[in-house]
Structure 1
Amino acid sequence: MSEKVMTTKEKMALITRNLQEVIGTAKLEKIIAERDLVLYWGTAPTGRPHIAYFVPLSKIADFLLAGCKVKILFANIHAYLDNMKAPLELVEYRTQYYEGVIKAVLESIGVPLDKLEFVRGTDYQLSKEYVLDVYKLSSLCTLRDAQKAGTEVVKQVSNPLLSGLLYPGLQALDEEYLKVDAQFGGVDQRKIFMLAEKYLPSIGYEKRIHLMNPMVPGLTGSKMSASDPNSKIDLLDDEKSVNKKIKMAFCEPGNIENNGLLSFAKAVIFPVWSLKGLGHFEIKRKKEHGGDVTFNTYEELELAFKEEKVYPADLKSGIAAAINVLLQPVREKLDTPEFKKLSGKAYPAVVKKDLTPSEQALEEFSKVKMVVGEIKEITNHPEADHLYVTKIDAGEECPRTIVAGLAKYIPKEELLNKKVVIVANLKPMKLRQVESNGMIVAASVGDKVEIVSPPSSATNGDRIVIEGVSGEPEAQLNPKKDTLKKVLEKLSTTTIDSKPTVVYLDDPLLVGGGSCTVNSLIGAEIK
């Protein structure tokens, strides 16, 4: 791609396009009128980078084309401290893997890399000066501010680790030690950015500019995640795998609000097509289905989908083809014996040991995501007398709809505004034409049914745990494996401290510093 001299206005437009928010616009414009902007973006080298990395990297391509100096921070200490899941040697291999993949992606887009720099957290985060500043910041930052800053990016649990409170302050200090003008990240990091603006001046450092990308949902409609095989496409997936995963993507006709495919097209495909000079976005269709159709702008595509001139199958085929165009040069560049050897070291095959029945039961429990929810609305199902349709606040952006078979047992008024335990990672399913996204956990003895209740100290969204079990739940339970059924069979109620308490085998279900209970049923089944 040939370079050209850009005006300040052109640089400003390129740097800020498709961002959701910019804090420090006047300062940004002043700097780029005088010199190159220096900014950084950070990532922890943990799981394999997936296609969602194209979202920040396509913006980094904009920054590089606008003449910015870009530093990419590999937060290797943070990756190591992530529940001590990987030794430092393994994290180093993963850091090299990330560096190779990110370079390949940016080169495939066609941007110059002469102003790109890779930095490791260990380059400065263990220094005497940095550690002293950590102590200084810790002496000034309040517990409330630290908790608030991490709410969007630090896993929220009833008994959080100290590291989660320190993390926002450490990220704020990175701005000073990397000597940058700006930090770039997702809008989910806004509260961390606000903490940096508040506290860095208190220890003698200046405020930085903050550039925020919108959050892009995954292909299932939720945040793109490496732990959800249906939500993420590996950057080295072959064409067949890409087509299969896109075919499984959540995509309702005319729905432009919760559509990961459209969001990816807006954030990545159209900007990258513009950078690469590829022209329009094309969807190939049979003549009987309207023939091939092209779009010069994202807005044209969105409108056509909203008006159902483009159907889900059309959009999926076009997005799959575009993703394969994006990934092909990355596949080719990294198809070397050296990179394959590095991949094996960074992500060695896991040899699973034979588990005892007790260990197997605990592993099964960890896969089920039970959380605290609060019933905010409840109505009778329009087509089934025995069903309720509930709206439940589970600490998420929007209440989730759950259809529950409780109408014959518990009056609506006893359930409204009641805190309950829900299973949150079931595959959505339609029950008499109403989609249900989870289940309410209840206990039963004969024809008596009672709701499982969390303690009053629990917060909506808190995960239900048992002592000593902290594994990650599956993004979505596989119905063929009957994991939930096996877990429910091992749940029952017994008396602990004079209360009817729900136990898994012999361990009580815990959340918010207390146990989950029922009103009166002892020896009940849980369903």
Structure 2
Amino acid sequence: MAGSPLTPESKLSLMKRNLQEVLGEEKLVEILKSRDIKIYWGTATTGRPHVAYFVPMSKIADFLSAGCEVTILFADLHAYLDNMKAPWELLNLRVKYYEAVIKSMLKSIGVDLGKLKFVKGTDYQLSTQYTLDVYRLSSLVTEHDARKAGAEVVKQVDHPLLSGLLLYPGLQALDEEYLKCDAQFGGVDQRKIFTYAEKYLPHLGYAKRSHLMNPMVPGLTGTKMSSSDEDSKIDMLDSPAQVKKKLKKAFCEPGNIEDNGILSFCKHVLFPLRTTAFEIKRPAEFGGDASFNSFEELEQAFAKELVHPGDLKSAVERYLNELMDPIRKEFESPELKKLVSEAYPVQKKKSGATPKISNAVESADNGIVPSRLDLRVGKILTVSQHPDAESLFVETVDLGEAEPRTVISGLVGLVPKEDLQDRLGVFLCNLKPVKMRGIESKAMLMCASLEDPRQVEPLFPPEGSAPGDRIFVEGFESGTPDDQLNPKKKVWEKLQPDLRVSEQRVAEFQGSPLMTKLGKIVTKNVKNSPIK
């Protein structure tokens, strides 16, 4: 964006927007008198990026608007050196995933990728000169300074590896020289590494750079948003149902504007990216719709309890899904789905128990995975009105067993009786049998269900399906269903919120399709709905 009409003062102001601290600002002022700033941001390719990554993405948008030349570093070697958070054999796959998801994030906020430079760390960090500089640096750095530099960033353990203690901070310092930047951008948690670089680079004959630091945005639990804390973050590929679930549990105390991850996300992502007012929609009896032209207005209204946490969460959910929808759509491609599964493969528990699935398909609740559900194709042989309940149908269903099962469905008035007769459907077969007005129901017919306007439609198995065909979620093919779901464990209740029918009328769990060996489970009419 060379030749930006902004003045040097306006450029610097835009670069500093929402930052917590700038080291070496006077150098940036001098550079801006003659040319635009060269800046780099790096990310270690460890756990999967989450929505907090929109915070640096929105600043990268600011830097580009200010005419900066921006380089994004995928720091694969750093990821390995930090206590081997990324195994060596997965480094290249993790880089590919990070590059795909970060480029998709940038596109979702309107950033022109042509104005960015993307670099992989090992493309230059394994060179002879870089390695010699690492040795030169190691001859200067004290153990005290190395430990201090990595204290806020590198994983802290009782007996740290030399890689994280010595090399990780050193590499991040040297990257400033090898990427030929004027400034490095990062979180304030990296301040000690930045001051380490300012101290030691001149000893190697290299220039001291400026440093721009974002504040640390609180996670959903009120602590730092972390890839390792499932409850604290929203993964970039989380489904709308997961987003709703996690936001519902997020810490957002009425009137409390401190350590509030919801408000912080509004300040550092939603408001900088918006060109129109931030709108909160609510019924007239609760104050009606409200709009805010600045974050300060929203913050003051929340502090005075003029905005309820539930209404704020609902607005953030709406805007967040707008940002995430194009990313989810892009990652529906077979190539990217394969990349996710390969970069974050299934991790088996040491005990040999049920494998823990990677975040690509992991349920938020430990051990609660959809393969525990006994979902099968069934054919409805007969349909009749329940003799003692006007709203219930009694169905006889062939599920590929020796004898048909009796199933009761509350579909009277919602689905015509003739539409059920002789049709194939999807049935959950391992719920505990329950008596409904004197008749025991031994399975549940799965339907897409919307409340407003009221619509209910049973799911359709693919053409050619037969009674008893097993239904699974892509990515959860392995695993044996429970013989019977224990009601006290609430397995079904925990999985059900993540079952939905997509815009394309495909039945999904967390964005992955429900399938038989012949293809996907679908609806013909209802879309964007829960499955019940």
Q: 1:85 to 1:41 in 2, by over 3 A?
A: closer
Q: 1:333 to 1:39 in 2, by over 3 A?
A: same
CA distance in 2 between counterparts of 1:146 and 1:245 reads 37
Note the C-alpha offset of 1:43: 0.8
CA distance in 2 between counterparts of 1:85 and 1:206 reads 31
Aligned to 2:7: 7
Q: Does residue 19 of structure 1 match 2:22?
A: no
Which residue identity is paired with 1:222? T
CA distance in 1 between counterparts of 2:147 and 2:88 reads 28
Selected match of 1:305 from 289, 299, 302: 302
CA distance in 1 between counterparts of 2:301 and 2:128 reads 58
Q: Does residue 288 of structure 1 match 2:298?
A: no
The CA deviation string for residues 128-168 of structure 1, in whole angstroms up to 9 with x for no partner, is 11111111111111222112212211233332221222121
Aligned to 1:259: 260
Structure 2 counterpart SS, 1:74 = strand
Aligned to 1:180: 181
CA distance in 2 between counterparts of 1:108 and 1:10 reads 25
CA distance in 2 between counterparts of 1:86 and 1:33 reads 42
The CA deviation string for residues 446-471 of structure 1, in whole angstroms up to 9 with x for no partner, is xxxxxxxxxxxxxxxxxxxxxxxxxx
- Alignment of structure 1 residues 15-414 onto 2, 5 Å: 15-84=15-84, 86-166=86-166, 167-273=168-274, 277=275, 279-352=276-349, 354-355=351-352
CA distance in 1 between counterparts of 2:79 and 2:148 reads 22
Q: 1:158 to 1:354 in 2, by over 3 A?
A: closer
Note the C-alpha offset of 1:82: 4.0
Which residue identity is paired with 1:301? L
CA distance in 1 between counterparts of 2:152 and 2:340 reads 31
Q: 1:19 to 1:84 in 2, by over 3 A?
A: closer
Q: 1:345 to 1:229 in 2, by over 3 A?
A: same
CA distance in 1 between counterparts of 2:38 and 2:114 reads 13
Q: 1:94 to 1:155 in 2, by over 3 A?
A: closer
Which residue identity is paired with 2:259? N
CA distance in 2 between counterparts of 1:85 and 1:190 reads 21
Which residue identity is paired with 1:343? V
Query: Higher mean Cα deviation, 263-272 or 347-356?
Result: 347-356
Query: Higher mean Cα deviation, 149-158 or 210-219?
Result: 149-158
Given that residues 65 and 111 in structure 1 are in contact (C-alpha distance below 8 angstroms), is that contact kept between their aligned partners in structure 2? no
Q: 1:195 to 1:156 in 2, by over 3 A?
A: same
Q: 1:137 to 1:246 in 2, by over 3 A?
A: same
Q: 1:306 to 1:241 in 2, by over 3 A?
A: same
The CA deviation string for residues 225-271 of structure 1, in whole angstroms up to 9 with x for no partner, is 11222211111112121111101101111111121111111111100
Which residue identity is paired with 1:259? N
CA distance in 2 between counterparts of 1:85 and 1:209 reads 28
- Alignment of structure 1 residues 492-511 onto 2, 5 Å: none
* Higher CA-based Rg: 2
Structure 2 counterpart SS, 1:39 = strand
CA distance in 2 between counterparts of 1:153 and 1:169 reads 13
The CA deviation string for residues 16-70 of structure 1, in whole angstroms up to 9 with x for no partner, is 1011111111211222332221111111112111101101111011111222111
Structure 2 counterpart SS, 1:34 = coil
CA distance in 2 between counterparts of 1:246 and 1:283 reads 16
Please give the TM-score of this superposition, normalised by the length of structure 1.
Answer: 0.64
Given that residues 281 and 288 in structure 2 are in contact (C-alpha distance below 8 angstroms), is that contact kept between their aligned partners in structure 1? yes
CA distance in 2 between counterparts of 1:96 and 1:281 reads 34
Structure 1 counterpart SS, 2:73 = strand
CA distance in 1 between counterparts of 2:227 and 2:325 reads 20
CA distance in 2 between counterparts of 1:256 and 1:130 reads 46
Which residue identity is paired with 2:213? M
Q: 1:85 to 1:301 in 2, by over 3 A?
A: closer
Note the C-alpha offset of 1:351: 4.3
Q: 1:148 to 1:84 in 2, by over 3 A?
A: closer
Which residue identity is paired with 2:228? S
Structure 2 counterpart SS, 1:114 = helix
Note the C-alpha offset of 1:85: 5.4
Q: 1:199 to 1:354 in 2, by over 3 A?
A: closer
CA distance in 2 between counterparts of 1:103 and 1:51 reads 14
Aligned to 2:478: none
CA distance in 1 between counterparts of 2:202 and 2:84 reads 33
Given that residues 64 and 113 in structure 1 are in contact (C-alpha distance below 8 angstroms), is that contact kept between their aligned partners in structure 2? no
Structure 2: 5+ residue stretches without partners: 354-365, 367-487, 490-532
Structure 1: 5+ residue stretches without partners: 357-366, 368-479, 482-527
Given that residues 83 and 163 in structure 2 are in contact (C-alpha distance below 8 angstroms), is that contact kept between their aligned partners in structure 1? no
Given that residues 73 and 118 in structure 1 are in contact (C-alpha distance below 8 angstroms), is that contact kept between their aligned partners in structure 2? yes
Identity %: 65
Please give the TM-score of this superposition, normalised by the length of structure 2.
Answer: 0.64
Note the C-alpha offset of 1:306: 0.5
Note the C-alpha offset of 1:352: 4.3
Given that residues 201 and 207 in structure 2 are in contact (C-alpha distance below 8 angstroms), is that contact kept between their aligned partners in structure 1? yes
